[in-house]
Amino acid sequence: SSVGEPTEIAEIFKTKMELNLNGGMVVANPVPKEHELSKDYIDKIIEEAVKDSIANGISGKDSTPFLLKTIVEKTDGKSLETNIKLVENNAVLGAKIAVAFSKM
């Protein structure tokens, strides 16, 4: 299901705690539209990066750093900018949820 407001998220979390339900809670928060990369564009870049990793024999724990670096290079830094904006947006949402929760 989908929830639109930080107060709703805080209410759901409060209810979860009151019911003593174990486990975490996932809040998915998309990157702001103005910083979004098109699905076709980023899918193509990711596919190229994966092919590069295979061609270079990259595997295991070296895969993620290689892929992230390659994707940043292939997008001329746009993917990094997008990820930074996503982190900032997540911090803002997290703060709003925390404020709403503190008022309950």
pLDDT in tens, 12-48: 999 999 999 999 999 999 999 999 999 999 999 999 9
With a cut of 80, say whether residue 57 has pLDDT above it. Answer: yes
In a domain, 42, yes or no: yes
Please tell me the predicted confidence (pLDDT) of residue 81: 97
Residue 68 located in a structural domain: yes
Domain region containing 89: 6-103
DSSP 3-60: --SHHHHHHHHHHHHHTT--S------PPPGGGPPPHHHHHHHHHHHHHHHHHTT--G
pLDDT at 5 > cutoff 90: yes
Number of structural domains (the chain) is 1
Distance CA(24)–CA(53), nearest Å, equals 33
Cα–Cα distance measured from residue 57 to residue 51, given in angstroms and rounded to the nearest whole number? 10
- Which band of pLDDT confidence, cut at 50, 70 and 90, is reported for residue 4? confident
| φ, ψ of residue 38 in degrees (nearest 5) | -65, 145
Place of tokens 């107060």: 7
User: Is residue 1 included in any domain, yes or no?
Assistant: no
pLDDT of residue 37: 97
